Amino acid sequence: MTEFIIIMLVKMFVIFGAVMLTMTYITLAERKILGYMQIRPGPNRVGPWGLLQPIADGIKLFLKEDIIPDNASKAVFVIAPAMALIPAVMTIAVVPFGPAVTIFGRPIDIYMADINIGILYIFAVSSIGVYGIVLAGWSSESKYSLLGGLRSSAQMISYELSMGFAIVGVIMMSQSLSMVKIIEAQKGVWFIIPQFLGFAIYITAAIAELNRTPFDLPEGESELVSGYFTEYSSMKYAMFMLAEYINIITVSGVVTTLYLGGWHGPILPPFIWFVVKLFAVVFFMIWGRATFPRFRYDQLMTFGWKVLLPASIVNILLTAVFMTVFGEL
């Protein structure tokens, strides 16, 4: 029992540390990629090629004055960033980064837990994060923050439905809610091939869930200053940023698991395959930010309810017909 606890604690620190380091440098990668796409160099002053920029940003935020507005509901204002960050960290526990590896003669899984309702766990826990955003908007006593919080809650409710229906096809084909078993079901054919419609719906809805461009209405700078975290500064502001980028890693890991075959691939080690696919999904999101203009709010809601939701239901029907005619893959 003691040995099991020690192994779990070591895995927790290693996986969490790796995710935090990755998240830190995804911020730099995003700024550099956006810079090159816009024909400018991006961050290049702090350290060689700007590699120390994320560390400088972290130190700057840590040393900034922590301001709480006079009229804010102080207790809720302080708790809200933690309510956004903690669910983001908790979802990482069931993302399988690779199969078991042998260390000192003992097989060690490269994930915290393989529960038989892994997908349900991710949806349940990640949906709690919206409470942090809504409470941040409400407690700030700012019109901009309140509008951002309301937009975010409406957006998440609208697009989470489509996300849930999009993965039903994967569950039907894999016959499981376990993330590891879904990867094992893709040994022959990655689910992106028979489930391409579901993949397109899921990744579109996921970008909307993350409040990323072109669905970044809750923090639309042109109209809401910074949306729900307009009044936040210092480490509370940093916690919202941490939550956003950890969620990007988690969503990319889930897309890799559900549709891109997880760690399956030729020649390279399984863990390397998973990481390569994960970063490919992250790059796709950054590419979208550099490419698409922001939706108008009515367009955002219309697209969610009148396009993605019916398409996700059609995907379920097509999967049922496919499995009836051809059987399991």
CA distance 174 to 115: 15
CA distance 269 to 281: 19
Could you write out the DSSP letters of every residue in 107-127?
A: EE-SSS---TTHHHHHHHHHT
Q: Which two tokens stand for residue 135?
A: 């409470």
Contact 262, 187 (CB under 8 A): no
Q: Where are the alpha helices (DSSP H) in the chain?
A: 2-37, 53-63, 74-90, 118-126, 129-139, 143-166, 168-174, 179-184, 196-209, 221-224, 234-259, 270-291, 297-302, 309-326
pTM over 0.85: yes
| Tens digits of residue pLDDT in 117-167 | 888 899 888 888 888 888 888 888 888 888 888 888 888 888 888 898 999
CA distance 313 to 13: 40
CA distance 145 to 161: 25
Angle at 301 between CA 34 and CA 160, to 5 degrees: 80
Instruction: Give the percent of the chain with pLDDT over 70.
Output: 97
Contact 224, 148 (CB under 8 A): yes
Contact 33, 290 (CB under 8 A): yes
Helix (H) or strand (E) holding 102: strand 101-103
Give residue for tokens 């540390």: 17
Q: Which two tokens stand for residue 89?
A: 């960290």
- Quick check: bond before 107 cis, omega within 30? no
CA distance 78 to 81: 7
Per-residue pLDDT, 329:
55
Q: Which two tokens stand for residue 282?
A: 């992250």
User: Which residues lie closer than 8 Å to 143 by C-beta, 6 or more apart?
Assistant: none
CA distance 33 to 287: 8
Q: What is the DSSP letter of 305?
A: I
327 — pLDDT class (breaks 50, 70, 90): low
User: Which residues lie closer than 8 Å to 27 by C-beta, 6 or more apart?
Assistant: 54, 57, 241, 245
Contact 19, 272 (CB under 8 A): no
CA distance 196 to 290: 24
| Tens digits of residue pLDDT in 300-313 | 888 889 999 999 99
| Tens digits of residue pLDDT in 29-84 | 888 998 888 888 888 888 888 888 888 888 888 888 878 887 778 888 888 888 88
| Tens digits of residue pLDDT in 191-222 | 998 899 999 999 999 998 888 888 887 676 66
269 — pLDDT class (breaks 50, 70, 90): confident
Residue 102 bridge partners (DSSP): 107
Measured from the Cβ of residue 172, the count of other Cβ atoms closer than 10 Å reads 15
Domain ranges of the chain: 70-326
How high is the mean pLDDT of the chain? 85
SS3 101: strand
Instruction: Give the percent of the chain with pLDDT over 90.
Output: 14
Q: Is 76 exposed, middle or buried (0-12, 13-18, 19+ CB in 10 A)?
A: middle
